[in-house]
């Protein structure tokens, strides 16, 4: 059955490179100073964990709007750390499991990590791990208790660990008391006009004259949505123009781009 | 038993043409520009999924009042896509199942689709899949979590997928955060006077003089209710006139039509 | 045990004449234009189902105060339809069963009906099927979801079905969204002065001079309560006069009738 | 175990005289017109059930404050009816049972009664059968649904039944919709000054001069509490005087009587 | 396991003297008129139960702030009654048991008592038996229903019973309707200045000059807290003085006594 | 499995020195008068328990903001008591267990302790033991009831026990009524400017000129957060300076220290 199938994808030990790489399907491009600053600070925590004697457990939360690049950032830190044990815990690999089975799986990852000298665990999309919905609100208290204990429990003597959490529901985690359980929290922002321009330039699908107005129009959009928007618009009004545009033979029709942008923002505007 | 019987109706693979065709029992007639526009945009998404390399998963939500033609539209897109795997997930085939069995069935459809190069999955009547009632409100959080994860989970390398959701409870999905999980949302409207006239003309049961006043009277009615209304009225005040009317031998009695319309709207008016 | 015993009473197929007849223990008398109008319209729906090609499923809700004659009306339509499959689904035959067993039984009736060319299903006292209490309110969401799906699910090709629901809690069904699931809704009223007079005349237990003041006094009473009231009063202040009154040898003492009426309405007045 | 033991006390058939007699441990004394009127009306219902052809089920609710004599009245009606099947359903015989077992036991009593030509079932302390507490409020919806269905379900052809309910929480039953399920409701009152005097006279423990002031002091007290109060006071301030008082050798000390009365009403006063 | 171990401590029959004595670890000293009055009235109830013919069940509730001496009082009444069956039901002996097991144990004690001519059952700390917390509030309705039924259920013919309840949450019991189920309720108070002085004198650890100011300072303290406070203060600021003080060799340092008192009341003050 | 693994870490008897020592990973330094005062008073309770005859159970609650040193203090008292049985009950050793298993484990520790002449039990992070979240709020009533009973249950004759609780949610425990169950409560504070200076001096990583401004900046910070902050800052802006700083070869860059401080307080500021 499917649960069995899922099981197989999850190796018990070691850095799961495939999982980490899937978190940054559009690669990592320069998208402004604020993203870069967070990355650098997080790499200092990696260093601290490597050398620390007094505090074997350091925890860090990346919070920000949906699609702002939190998971890609966390995965990148994990990859760049070169730690022997790097693991991402995400709701994707636990679909349909009961609360207690999810807890057991989460605890298992920590127990495995405790055997490694140095380890990084990414708790991706914590609100999803907690099965959170704003109506009620409802969430799994079993899992939230487990996380709160794990975020405080020290690894055994001689083992050091960095835990990186990501969430787009910082307010909810705050009200649970989970935010306070992290040593430090960073806000991963949407793109401002300058950031967006950088990303659009790296994509190289707009005419030079259009790029500023395009960047202005997508001001405050998260990076993941920007990638989706560009790809939708690249089909053209009649379809079929995508290959020409990505290969550079043709430039994006800026009016069609604005039309598609209108479709996307209308409901929420 | 009946669960076993239901089971048999659901083939594990391939496009389920019978299910899709049942969604448009009254066929597809021209009912105005707004319906047509949505259809065209959705077909661009089909095209995008066909050629995309960067984003293997595109998701689209059709929302609008009950009977406005969402399911028929989604089924039509599925049929017209010519994708090897097209599947509709609806509450009809899961009556009486437990939440977790429903989840497993939904996940199973996605897992099956992941094996196909190109696939379309229709999540029909999402509020019904979620077992939603406005009192409380109550709904299945297990299923809502499953959908939120599936709407973000990428298919394996090299497989592309389009997910089309339909709902008449957009406000509820919005408050759950499920709307935001879709790449784009389209509003499927009721019929305005012009749209209704087109549909009534295609039915050809009114006298030419009556068609305008009939269209005016049903202004803002969803297309599915209009079909039901016409059929109820076609029986005539004494019954028995339906065959004559549909075969064109006799025209609809416009006063009886208004009477029946009165019965239908009185309670909700 | 008793569940087993109940089981035996419920035949799997065919019109359950005994059940239908029990719904109109006091027969069907003329009780005014409004009741008659609903009956006629409902019989048009029966006709529509017989001849329809486009819409294999027609649904109709009878709502009104407790005792206004909804169940008797629905049973009468079922009996008068001459359809091969007529079945009443009521809470009486499902006392003490779990929600899911009730669902399975309801679904079973629909599945059986799908095998018949023409069928009528009466969902009697929907609020009771839903285990509704106003405090909370509480109700079975499992059953409400099942009904909402069944009220939309089309019978297989070539089979046509009429579903008649009855309820004295229209407001509750409205707020669940179940009212909207019906094609049309009719309000079954209490008796006004004229209606009550007709019923009392058919009973023939009052002196001619008393019948108008009696009818006036029971203005707005549902028909079922009127029958109970007359029978209680017929015992006389000292008891024992009932036979004489029903056989016509003696007339009802109008003052005692008013006394008993006072007992009945005092608490709720 | 104790459940087994309870079981044995409950005979499956026939009038349970011991249970009925236990409900009126202090006998039945004349306590005023209002109690007598209810008794007489209820005996008319007994008569109606005996002769009725049209309505095989009559239901009657006795409501009033705790201790006002409802259970004793219901038991008396049962005893005086001379029906072959008279049964009291009370929470006492179902302590610690699960909701569904309670339902089954209640249904069992009705099923047994259906086999008898004439039967009376007393639903004693309905709020206790429903496991009601005002905080929340909480109650068993399973049992409340069962009662609502049983109060409407007709006995088989040729069998007639009277159901008498008692409750001191009429407001709660009203809000559940259970009150409306009864054909008629009577309010069993506390004792007014005259009523109390009658009861005290029949006890014959006060000096003639004291009886009026005693009756005045207990104005509005339910009869059961009055019996308890008198017995407590009869011990005397030093204890030991009870036998002398009940045997008539000594009269009640009216001041001690008022003291004890003060203890009882202080908290609730 | 521990449940088994607990089991052994609880003998099935007879007065459990050890349990009763543990309730008054600091003995019973004279602590004022109000305590004494309650004791005397309760002993009258003991007498009433001994001689009563009419009312085989008498129930009495002792309510008051935490530590005011309710359990010690109830135990004392039990001991002084010389009844053959005296039993205390407390949450201590039911830690970790399920609601239904607790119910069964409680019922068992009553069933055992019913076999005794005369019996006393102490329901100690009813709010704890009910698993009450003010947040929500939450409590076991199963147990509350069981108690409400047991408080009304008459013992078999010829057996008489006194039930004494204790609680520090009278308001909660009132709102459940449990208070009304008791025949009479007494309020066990904290100590006023005079009462406290009596208790301190009997302890004999203060200098004569200090005793009034000490008594004044602990005005309105429950007796159990006063014992704890004195013992804490008796250690002295540096520790080690306790033996000297209790043996009378040294007097309590009044300033240190006030310091410790300050620690205790600060948070709640 | 992991539960089994956890099991092994928990010895059934005796002082668990390893557990206690882990609670004070940064040792115990002088951090001001207020901390010292609490320690001294608690050691008086240890003494009281040693010599008490009247009150075999003394209970004490340490409450204060997260990281203020409650667990380290409790562990230190346990270690310094030299009692034969000292045990810490914390959520860490019960991750993923069911409520009832947790209860059984907690009761087991008490039962074990009852066999020891003198014992100390630390209930660490009571809100975590109760699985508390502020949303709702939700918590385990089973565990809260168990704790409330255990905090009142006397050890067997001749055995004396001290229970120390810690919590950072005093308000919540207050509203549960758990605070009142403790004999005395102490508030463990954050560091004021003077306290912080003492801690920073003992760390010896700042230049003498910077230590005052550093202490001022961290005014009102709990001691545990201060240790974390210093270690994060010690890495330096470029990383790699930590060893030099802790070995004394280099002093902390005060500006970088303020930057890192800004990261930590920004969200909550
Ligand atoms: N500098 C960057 N930082 C982060 N992401 C980047 C960057 N450059 C490109 N990306 C791309 O942007 C996308 C960021 O999406 P990601 O899933 O990380 O967002 P997210 O904040 O985790 O979204 P969600 O809230 O839905 O979980 C990825 O596809 C990634 O490859
Ligand atoms: N252009 C059209 N678009 C959609 N539906 C059409 C069109 N022309 C005719 N129809 C008919 O209108 C009906 C639309 O009903 P459909 O079930 O799709 O509505 P819906 O919005 O899904 O309703 P619900 O909210 O109840 O699920 C179908 O019977 C379909 O055959
Ligand atoms: N014309 C009529 N229409 C309906 N009922 C009639 C008519 N004439 C007589 N009756 C009698 O009136 C009674 C109507 O009761 P019925 O149970 O149908 O009411 P109801 O509205 O279903 O009540 P409830 O709300 O309690 O379910 C029946 O006994 C029926 O025999
Ligand atoms: N005329 C009377 N009617 C009713 N009860 C009477 C009468 N005369 C004496 N009694 C005595 O009064 C008592 C009435 O108590 P009963 O248990 O019937 O009250 P209740 O209203 O059912 O109380 P509760 O609300 O607690 O169930 C009985 O002991 C009964 O013997
Ligand atoms: N006259 C007295 N009455 C009651 N208790 C007394 C008296 N004299 C001394 N005591 C002592 O006072 C203490 C009273 O504590 P007790 O446990 O009875 O209080 P409580 O009200 O039951 O407390 P809680 O609300 O915590 O259950 C006992 O230790 C008892 O020995
Ligand atoms: N005098 C002291 N008192 C307490 N802790 C001290 C002291 N000196 C140093 N410390 C250190 O400070 C830290 C206090 O952290 P601790 O875990 O005890 O705080 P806490 O209040 O229990 O936190 P939490 O609320 O998160 O449970 C420990 O690392 C301990 O070694
Ligand atoms: Mg993410
Ligand atoms: Mg649809
Ligand atoms: Mg009906
Ligand atoms: Mg009663
Ligand atoms: Mg007590
Ligand atoms: Mg701590």
Pocket perturbation via mutation, ligand 4, pick of D222, D224, D226, D231 by most ligand atoms within 8 A of CB: D224
pLDDT over 50 at E10, yes or no: no
- Confidence band of F266 (pLDDT split at 50, 70, 90): low
Burial of residue E265 (number of CB atoms within 10 Å: 0-12, 13-18, 19+)? middle
pLDDT of res. B52:
86
Contacts of B141 in chain A (CB under 8 A): 131, 133, 138
Cα-Cα-Cα-Cα torsion F128, F134, F138, F143, nearest 10 degrees, comes to 30
**Closest C-alpha to ligand 4, atom 13:** D224
Cα E118 to its chain centre, rounded Å, is: 22
Q: Does the C-beta of A24 come closer than 6 Å to ligand 1?
A: yes
Q: Which tokens belong to E238?
A: 């540096």
Say which residues have a Cβ less than 8 Å from residue D31's Cβ, sequence separation at least 6: D69, D191, D195, D198, D199, D223
pLDDT in tens, A133-191: 999 999 999 999 999 999 999 999 999 999 999 999 999 999 999 999 999 999 999 99
Q: Using CB atoms, pick whichever of F54, F145, F149 lies closest to residue E231.
A: F54
| Closest ligand 4 atom to Cα of D36 | 1
- C236 within 8 A of C242, measured Cβ to Cβ: yes
Cα–Cα nearest to C182, from C58, C53, C50, C52: C58
Contacts of D110 in chain C (CB under 8 A): none
Cα–Cα nearest to A188, from A72, A78, A62: A62
Q: Does the C-beta of B127 come closer than 6 Å to ligand 2?
A: no
**Closest C-alpha to ligand 2, atom 9:** B28
Q: Using CB atoms, pick whichever of B41, B54, B108 lies closest to residue A263.
A: B41
F with E: 3 or more CB pairs under 8 Å? yes
| Closest ligand 6 atom to Cα of F30 | 1
- Confidence band of C228 (pLDDT split at 50, 70, 90): very high
Residue of C nearest to B236 (CA): C44
Do the Cβ atoms of B134 and C103 come within 8 Å? Answer: no
Distance in angstroms (rounded) separating the CA atoms of residues B12 and B105: 10
CA of A125 to the centre of ligand 7 (A): 6
Question: Percent of chain A scored above 70 by pLDDT?
Answer: 93
Q: Give the count of Cβ contacts less than 8 A between chain A and B.
A: 88
Mean pLDDT of E69-92: 97
pLDDT in tens, C17-66: 889 999 999 999 999 999 999 999 999 999 999 998 878 999 999 999 99
- Confidence band of B8 (pLDDT split at 50, 70, 90): very low
Average predicted confidence (pLDDT) for chain D: 92
- C229 within 8 A of C219, measured Cβ to Cβ: no
Cα–Cα nearest to A89, from A118, A57, A63, A112: A112
Residue of D nearest to C136 (CA): D137
- 3-state SS, chain A, equals CHHHHHHHHCCCCCCCHHHHHHCCCCCCCCCCHHHHHHHHHHHHHHHHHHHCCCCCEEEEEEECCCCCCHHHHHHHHHHHHCCCEEEEECHHHHCCCCHHHHHHHHHHHHHHHHCCCEEEEEECCHHHHCCCECCCCECCHHHHHHHHHHCCCCCCCCCEEEEEEEECCHHHHHHHCCHHHCCEEEECCCCCHHHHHHHHHHHCCCCCCCHHHHHHHCCCCCHHHHHHHHHHHHCCCCCCCHHHHHCCCCCCCHHHHHHHHHHHHHCCC
Residue of C nearest to B132 (CA): C145
pLDDT in tens, F81-95: 999 999 999 999 999
Contacts of C144 in chain B (CB under 8 A): 133
CA of A74 to the centre of ligand 1 (A): 9
Q: Does the C-beta of A73 come closer than 6 Å to ligand 1?
A: yes
A198-210 burial code (b ≥16 CB/10 A, e <16)? ebbeebebbeeeb
Main-chain dihedrals φ then ψ at residue E30, nearest 5 degrees: -70, 115
Q: Which tokens belong to B229?
A: 């209304």
pLDDT over 60 at B242, yes or no: yes
- Confidence band of F1 (pLDDT split at 50, 70, 90): very low
Q: Which helix (H) or strand (E) holds F2?
A: helix F2-9
Q: Which tokens belong to E62?
A: 């002792």
Burial of residue A56 (number of CB atoms within 10 Å: 0-12, 13-18, 19+)? middle
Do the Cβ atoms of D48 and C264 come within 8 Å? Answer: no
Q: Which tokens belong to E9?
A: 């401590």
Distance in angstroms (rounded) separating the CA atoms of residues A170 and A184: 13
Do the Cβ atoms of F263 and A184 come within 8 Å? Answer: yes
pLDDT: which is higher, E13 or E127: E127
| Closest ligand 2 atom to Cα of B66 | 25
Cis peptide before E137 (omega within 30 of 0): yes
pLDDT of res. D87:
97
pLDDT over 70 at E7, yes or no: no
**Which residues, listed in sequence order, are joined to residue A163 by a DSSP beta bridge?**
A59, A121
pLDDT over 90 at D209, yes or no: yes
- Confidence band of F4 (pLDDT split at 50, 70, 90): very low
Residue of B nearest to C105 (CA): B2
pLDDT in tens, D223-252: 999 999 999 999 999 999 999 999 999 999
- Confidence band of E266 (pLDDT split at 50, 70, 90): low
Using an 8 Å CB-CB cutoff, list residues of chain F that contact chain E: 41, 43-45, 47-48, 51-52, 54-55, 58, 100, 103-104, 107-108, 111, 137, 139, 141-142, 144-146, 148-150, 152-154, 170, 174-177, 179-180, 183-187
pLDDT of res. B4:
46
CA of C84 to the centre of ligand 3 (A): 24
Widest distance between CA atoms in chain E: 64
Does the global pTM surpass 0.80? yes
Q: Does the C-beta of E224 come closer than 6 Å to ligand 5?
A: yes
- Confidence band of A17 (pLDDT split at 50, 70, 90): confident
- Confidence band of C266 (pLDDT split at 50, 70, 90): low
pLDDT of res. B11:
41
- Confidence band of F53 (pLDDT split at 50, 70, 90): confident
Nearest chain A CA: its distance from F134 CA (Å):
6
F with A: 3 or more CB pairs under 8 Å? yes
Average predicted confidence (pLDDT) for chain A: 92
Q: Using CB atoms, pick whichever of C128, C231, C264 lies closest to residue D52.
A: C231
Q: What is the CA radius of gyration of chain B?
A: 20
Q: Which helix (H) or strand (E) holds D185?
A: strand D184-187
Contacts of E58 in chain D (CB under 8 A): 228, 232
pLDDT over 80 at D79, yes or no: yes
Distance in angstroms (rounded) separating the CA atoms of residues E102 and E108: 10
Using DSSP's 3-state secondary structure scheme, residue E185 falls into strand
Using DSSP's 3-state secondary structure scheme, residue E162 falls into strand
- D188 within 8 A of D69, measured Cβ to Cβ: yes
Distance in angstroms (rounded) separating the CA atoms of residues E255 and A23: 67
Say which residues have a Cβ less than 8 Å from residue D30's Cβ, sequence separation at least 6: D36, D198, D202
Q: Using CB atoms, pick whichever of A55, A179, A186 lies closest to residue F231.
A: A55
Q: Does the C-beta of B68 come closer than 6 Å to ligand 2?
A: yes
Positive or negative, the CA dihedral D9, D10, D15, D17 is: positive
Q: Which tokens belong to D222?
A: 């339910």
pLDDT of res. A266:
59
Q: Above 0.95 for ipTM, yes or no? A: no
pLDDT of res. A12:
41
pLDDT of res. D55:
83
User: Which of the residues B89, B95, B223, B245 would you substitute to probe the C interface, choosing the one with the greatest number of C C-beta atoms within 10 Å?
Assistant: B95
Q: Which helix (H) or strand (E) holds D71?
A: helix D70-81
pLDDT over 70 at C2, yes or no: no
Pocket perturbation via mutation, ligand 4, pick of D19, D221, D223, D230 by most ligand atoms within 8 A of CB: D223
Nearest chain D CA: its distance from E212 CA (Å):
33
- F139 within 8 A of F104, measured Cβ to Cβ: no
Please report, for residues A148, C24, D129, F35, the alpha-carbon distance to residue F164 in angstroms, rounded to integers and kept in the order given: 22, 72, 45, 16
Helices (H) and strands (E) in chain B, counts: 13, 5
Pairing of strands D184-187, E118-123: unpaired
Q: Does the C-beta of A29 come closer than 6 Å to ligand 1?
A: yes
Subunits next to D (3 or more Cβ pairs <8 Å) are: C, E
> The tokens 């530590």 sit on which residue?
E67
Q: Which long-range contacts (CB under 8 A, 24 or more apart) does F243-251 make?
A: F243/A51, F245/F205, F246/F205, F248/F204, F248/F205, F251/F205, F251/F206, F251/F207, F251/F210
């Amino acid at each position: 059955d499917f649960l069995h199938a899922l099981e197989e994808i999850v190796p018990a030990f070691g850095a799961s490179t495939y999982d980490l790489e899937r978190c940054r399907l559009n690669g990592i491009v320069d998208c402004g100073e604020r993203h870069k600053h967070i990355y650098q600070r997080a790499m200092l925590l990696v260093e601290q964990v490597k050398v620390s004697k007094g505090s074997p457990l350091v925890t860090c939360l990346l919070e920000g709007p949906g699609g702002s690049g939190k998971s890609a950032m966390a995965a990148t830190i994990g990859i760049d750390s070169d730690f022997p044990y790097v693991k991402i815990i995400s709701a994707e690999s636990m679909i349909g499991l009961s609360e207690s089975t999810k807890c057991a799986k989460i605890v298992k990852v920590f127990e495995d990590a405790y055997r490694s000298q140095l380890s990084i665990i990414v708790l991706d999309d914590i609100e999803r791990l907690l099965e959170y919905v704003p109506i009620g609100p409802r969430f799994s208290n079993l899992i939230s208790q487990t996380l709160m204990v794990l975020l405080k429990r020290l690894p055994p003597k001689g083992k050091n660990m960095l835990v990186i959490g990501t969430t787009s529901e910082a307010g909810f985690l705050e009200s649970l008391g989970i935010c306070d359980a992290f040593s430090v929290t960073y806000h991963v922002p949407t793109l401002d006009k300058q950031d967006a321009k950088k990303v659009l330039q790296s994509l190289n699908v707009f005419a030079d004259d259009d790029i500023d107005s395009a960047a202005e129009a997508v001001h405050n959009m998260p990076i993941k949505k920007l990638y989706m928007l560009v790809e939708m618009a690249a089909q053209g009004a009649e379809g079929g123009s995508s290959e020409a545009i990505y290969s550079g033979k043709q430039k994006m029709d800026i009016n069609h781009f604005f039309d598609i942008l209108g479709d996307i923002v209308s409901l929420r505007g």
